[in-house]
Amino acid sequence: MKYIYFFEEGSKDMQNLLGGKGAGLSEMTRIGLPVPPGFTITTDACKIFVKKNEFPDGLWDEVLSAMKKLENITGKVFGDEKKPLLVSVRSGAPVSMPGMMDTVLNVGLNDKTIRGLIENTGNERFAWDAYRRLVQMYGKIVLGVPGKEFDEAMDETKKKYVRKNDIDLTTNELKELVEKFKKIIKDHGLEFPQDPYKQLELSIKAVFESWNNERAKVYRKLNNIPEDLCTAVSIVTMVFGNMGFDSATGVAFTRDPSTGEKVLYGEYLANAQGEDVVAGIRTPKPIKELEKDIPSAYRELVRAAEILEKHYRDVQDIEFTIEKGKFYLLQTRSAKRNARAAIKIALDMYKEGIITLEEMIMRVEPSHIDQMLHPQVDEKVKKTVVAKGLAASPGAGIGKVVFDPETAVKLASQGEKVILVRPETMADDVHGIAVAQGVLTARGGMTSHAAVVARAMGKPAVVGSEEIVIDMKMRQFESRGQVIKELDTVTVDGSAGLVYLGEVPVVTPGLTPELQEFLSICDEVRVLGVRANANTPEEAKRSREYGAEGIGLARTERMFLGKDRLPIMQAMIMSKTKEERTSYLNKLLEMQVNDFVEFFRIMDGFPVIIRLLDPPLHEFLPKELELTSEINEIKMKLKDAKTLKDMDPLIEELNERERILKTVRALAEFNPMIGFRGCRVGLVYPEIYEMQVRAIIRAALKVKEEGKNVIPEIMVPLVGIGNEIKIMRERLIPIAEEESKGKVKYMFGTMLEVPRGALVADDIAKYADFFSFGTNDLTQMTFGFSRDDVEATFLNRYIELGVLENNPFEVLDRDGVGELMKIAKERGRKSNPRLEIGICGEHGGDPSSIEFCHIIGLDYVSASPYRIPVARLAAAQAAIKHKKNLNK
Ligand code: ADP
Ligand code: MG
Ligand code: MG
């Protein structure tokens, strides 16, 4: 087994084996870019190490001979006093997990080799700075000494000699610091090893182990990264950005990752080592200034950025170091970007001819589209700024200030909205960021860990706000003369880089011109239609704006709940005779016509599926408990009443309440979700559906007369028996005909949500022009899971235990529910080849479920208004992914 690859041997296609970092270093070496010499230990080695807790057989020998080879290449010797070779030991998983695992720099330095380093570089201060970094990193990462203790020693020393920054410390002060650091380690009963090979061995092991540290595990869970990938370890010859002011280290993006603009974007620190930039110890300078500071290196950076972007055909996130004017690349990976940037970059790169149309569509993630529809701070509202910093991740977040991730998690679990405020940006904060509405930090740049993580999660963030002074003991921060205490409310505006006092109103940007352009390209590619689940005219309007091609589900029950309607509805339900019922329904008829008119106007030219009344009737009546307590109250009042005149109205009220109570008790069911509802009510009380069908057709006629194109589809819910729809059709079509007199075309169909309905779809399809899968109920009834209860009780445990991979109410269960859909489609089309088939459950807005609908060849998906843009993208992506499966 070969566990080690030199950079010359690898390539970008070896991510699984070499990790993203190793593969990137290899690829850059291969195409002739300046990378310090080095090699990568494979993820296979880590996999064995994680299992056995020791190196796989032969690995150490391979490391030794690789080090010999590295010595030959560099002309330096590992552990040599004259010409010491120093290396970094760097983590790197197959999937990018920025800052989640560990890296040790300057391995190979000890009390003796430092002399050689001083001699070769002629820079004593630099050498001691490198040494103190090694002892510090080694102590923290390899030996597990709390990093805080080193930071405190650093602060003490700075205070003692009145130095503002780390770089102001002199040689002697750094020497003193090295001794202090060694002592901290000793005080823990540990030792910093002088043997360079011991340093190397234990650093490699520590990096292997960092695969399983807490923050890496949390990150994997949040990002659905498999646990068994493991990390590779790259051993890289050290180059030094901390050799003076012709040296620097930095991070650059080939395009701006928050706007998508085509400009080199990034930050650097002169006289610093890599981790300084990401750790946010000093606030870095914008990359443009490098052009003045070290012009030749800047030109090399620009050239490398161009080459890399063309080569990878994607925006790259680059780490570089400049050693005495000489430029080196230390990392490249495809850049994380926010939603706005992702869309602009994909569109631009397509237009620039760098990527194809299909690649452009695949590059934008459905979650990006979601983020675009996130709220932003209302510009027109007056606000009080409490802090200004860098606009690290866009959007507006409102919540109560907390100062540590643990408190954030605790409060969030109690349903509170929180804003995480931190002095620095640290990778350990991920779990706090995950539950926060927004993030604010005092130090750190656009590429600090908090900024990167927040962007990826779509959380608003303001970082590097140097004007805020955080007092962790008092749990408060001060800024612009104001004191903000823990639990005070603030609004983080990550788009402007501002934090406001209190809760600021927000607005939703909706579709930008770029998103519209992108989505209309998606529309040309997709095969599935996209309709909306819209219950009000407002929702219908919004869904048109978002690109819906019709309404896939308009629920009518809401229309009976208005103040003016509910009493009529209740009277209708309690009617004893058909005549009585019809008279109340006639009152509702006119109101329903007006409801539908609005829908048809808005959806001019597009189909509108109106579902006939679905819920059980008792949902329109008061709850039993409410009624009995009201009745008791009236009885009490009756006792106190003195005159007949007082008593009469009370008695009348009492009788009325008791009459309702009787009906409520008569309609009570143990399991209303599978009870007397849907078409079952429609069959037993035919007048209700008759009224609704009349209203639909009358409304359609009215809007048609306005010159609009009206396409009504009448949907009968909860059909599981052929005879249900057969009888419905026989009753309702004559009414529709009577109303329309042949002047409007309409369709008549059913919502398929009872498993039996799927199995007898051939029978049902004889009487239906369309099917729409109601996958919420279909999932409930296929699993026998109560939609309203399981999530509170055992469903999450099922997912943790691995019984289920996903919540089947969110992600369509392809094996069970999906199989029923396939059966229904096949059997339905067999008896009615022109059957229109769609889906209107919540799944209609979920990308994975949409993909499945494409695969089995449905005609459309229907989603709630805010998920329509996502559905348009997901449908296009499904069409690209399954090109050969096109059913048409
Ligand atoms: P991460 O995955 O957290 O970014 P890296 O392995 O990239 O960790 O290392 C952290 C920083 O250390 C990098 O930003 C890089 O600039 C610096 N670094 C790593 N190896 C070397 C090296 N051989 N020479 C100089 N700097 C290095
Ligand atoms: Mg890095
Ligand atoms: Mg239903």
User: What spacing in Å lies between the alpha carbon of 333 and ligand 2's midpoint?
Assistant: 9
For 2-22, write each residue's pLDDT tens digit. 999 999 999 999 999 999 999
Please give the Cα distance from 818 to 835 (Å, whole number). 18
User: What spacing in Å lies between the alpha carbon of 90 and ligand 1's midpoint?
Assistant: 7
Which own/partner contact pairs does 555-559 have at CB distance under 8 Å and 24+ positions apart? 555/611, 555/614, 556/592, 556/595, 556/610, 556/611, 556/612, 556/613, 556/614, 556/692, 557/613, 557/614, 557/615, 557/619, 559/591, 559/592, 559/595
For 621-648, write each residue's pLDDT tens digit. 888 888 999 999 999 999 988 888 888 9
Ligand whose nearest atom lies closest to the CA of 90? 1
Q: Which residue has the tokens 């409930």?
A: 780
Neighbours of 472 (CB within 10 A): 12
pLDDT tops 80 at residue 379: no
Give 121: exposed, middle or buried? Use CB within 10 Å, 0-12, 13-18, 19+.
middle
Tell me the best of 18, 74, 90 to mutate to test the pocket of ligand 1, counting ligand atoms within 8 Å of each CB and taking the most: 90
**By the 8 A CB rule, do 870 and 366 touch?**
yes
Please give the Cα distance from 17 to 9 (Å, whole number). 12
Positive or negative CA dihedral for 119, 124, 130, 135? Answer: positive
pLDDT at 573: 92
pLDDT at 264: 96
**By the 8 A CB rule, do 779 and 752 touch?**
no
User: What spacing in Å lies between the alpha carbon of 238 and ligand 1's midpoint?
Assistant: 9
CA 186, 79, 41 angle in degrees (round to 5)? 90
Say if ligand 1 is within 6 A of residue 99 CB: yes
Ligand whose nearest atom lies closest to the CA of 232? 1
- Report CA-CA distances (Å) from 868 to 519, 523, 536, 555: 10, 12, 16, 18
The whole-chain average pLDDT of the chain stands at 92
pLDDT tops 50 at residue 52: yes
**By the 8 A CB rule, do 554 and 543 touch?**
no
pLDDT at 431: 85
For 606-617, write each residue's pLDDT tens digit. 999 999 999 999
Q: Tell the residue nearest (CA) to atom 14 of ligand 1.
A: 274
Which tokens in the block code for residue 784?
């026998």
Please give the Cα distance from 280 to 540 (Å, whole number). 47
Q: Tell the residue nearest (CA) to atom 27 of ligand 1.
A: 274
- Report CA-CA distances (Å) from 253 to 169, 280, 463, 742: 31, 17, 18, 63
Ramachandran quadrant class, 789 (left: phi over 0; alpha: psi -120 to 50; beta: rest): alpha
Tell me the best of 29, 319, 327, 453 to mutate to test the pocket of ligand 1, counting ligand atoms within 8 Å of each CB and taking the most: 319
pLDDT at 792: 60
- Better-predicted residue by pLDDT, 376 or 128: 128
Share above pLDDT 90 across residues of the chain, in percent, rounded to a whole number: 75
Confidence of residue 888 (pLDDT cuts 50, 70, 90): very low
E-strand ranges in 735-875 read 747-752, 770-773, 836-839, 860-863
pLDDT tops 80 at residue 884: no
Q: Which of 781, 696, 749 is nearest to 859 (CA)?
A: 749
E-strand ranges in 155-240 read 232-237
Q: Tell the residue nearest (CA) to atom 24 of ligand 1.
A: 238
Ligand whose nearest atom lies closest to the CA of 236? 1
Say if ligand 1 is within 6 A of residue 275 CB: yes
Q: Tell the residue nearest (CA) to atom 2 of ligand 1.
A: 99
**By the 8 A CB rule, do 431 and 404 touch?**
no
**By the 8 A CB rule, do 144 and 187 touch?**
no
Q: Once rounded to an integer, what is the mean pLDDT over residues 533-562?
A: 90
Please give the Cα distance from 247 to 262 (Å, whole number). 27
pLDDT tops 90 at residue 48: yes
pLDDT tops 60 at residue 415: yes
Least confidently predicted of 357-361, 465-469, 560-564, 723-727: 560-564
pLDDT at 374: 73
CA 613, 867, 545 angle in degrees (round to 5)? 90
Q: Which residue has the tokens 């182990």?
A: 209
The DSSP symbol for 478 reads: E
Which tokens in the block code for residue 213?
């540290």
Q: Tell the residue nearest (CA) to atom 10 of ligand 1.
A: 275
- CA of 275, closest atom in ligand 1: 11
Q: Which of 590, 542, 602 is nearest to 565 (CA)?
A: 590
pLDDT at 253: 96
- CA of 320, closest atom in ligand 1: 16
For 327-357, write each residue's pLDDT tens digit. 999 999 999 887 889 999 999 999 999 999 9
pLDDT at 427: 62
Q: Once rounded to an integer, what is the mean pLDDT over residues 664-691?
A: 91
Please give the Cα distance from 539 to 559 (Å, whole number). 14
User: What spacing in Å lies between the alpha carbon of 575 and ligand 2's midpoint?
Assistant: 73
For 825-846, write each residue's pLDDT tens digit. 999 999 999 999 999 998 999 9
User: What spacing in Å lies between the alpha carbon of 782 and ligand 3's midpoint?
Assistant: 13
**By the 8 A CB rule, do 49 and 202 touch?**
no
Residue type for position 278: V
Q: Tell the residue nearest (CA) to atom 3 of ligand 1.
A: 99
The DSSP H or E segment spanning 116 is helix 113-121
How far apart, in Å, do the first and last CA atoms of the chain sit? Answer: 50
Question: What is residue 397's three-state secondary structure?
Answer: strand
Q: List, as one string, the DSSP characters of 42-67.
A: -HHHHHHHHHHSSPPTTHHHHHHHHH
Q: Once rounded to an integer, what is the mean pLDDT over residues 386-400?
A: 89
- The residues that bridge with 715 in the sheet, in sequence order, are 611, 749
User: What spacing in Å lies between the alpha carbon of 275 and ligand 1's midpoint?
Assistant: 7
Question: What is residue 886's three-state secondary structure?
Answer: coil
pLDDT at 405: 92
Which tokens in the block code for residue 374?
């996130």
pLDDT at 784: 94
Q: Once rounded to an integer, what is the mean pLDDT over residues 397-411?
A: 95
Say if ligand 1 is within 6 A of residue 105 CB: yes
Give 695: exposed, middle or buried? Use CB within 10 Å, 0-12, 13-18, 19+.
buried
**By the 8 A CB rule, do 616 and 666 touch?**
no
Q: Tell the residue nearest (CA) to atom 4 of ligand 1.
A: 99
Say if ligand 1 is within 6 A of residue 319 CB: yes
Say if ligand 1 is within 6 A of residue 321 CB: yes
Q: Tell the residue nearest (CA) to atom 17 of ligand 1.
A: 274
Q: Once rounded to an integer, what is the mean pLDDT over residues 81-108?
A: 92
pLDDT tops 80 at residue 886: no
Say if ligand 1 is within 6 A of residue 274 CB: yes
pLDDT tops 60 at residue 756: yes
pLDDT tops 90 at residue 128: yes
Q: Point out the residues that are catalytic.
A: 449, 840
Residues 6+ apart with CB under 8 A from 380: none
Ligand whose nearest atom lies closest to the CA of 40? 1
Ligand whose nearest atom lies closest to the CA of 231? 1
Confidence of residue 280 (pLDDT cuts 50, 70, 90): low
User: What spacing in Å lies between the alpha carbon of 179 and ligand 1's midpoint?
Assistant: 25
Say if ligand 1 is within 6 A of residue 239 CB: yes
For 443-459, write each residue's pLDDT tens digit. 877 667 777 778 767 78
pLDDT at 278: 64
Least confidently predicted of 554-558, 679-683, 879-883: 554-558
Q: Once rounded to an integer, what is the mean pLDDT over residues 39-50?
A: 97
- Report CA-CA distances (Å) from 70 to 2, 255, 397, 531: 17, 34, 50, 61
Say if ligand 1 is within 6 A of residue 330 CB: yes
Least confidently predicted of 219-233, 374-388, 570-584: 374-388
Q: What is the pTM of this model?
A: 0.77
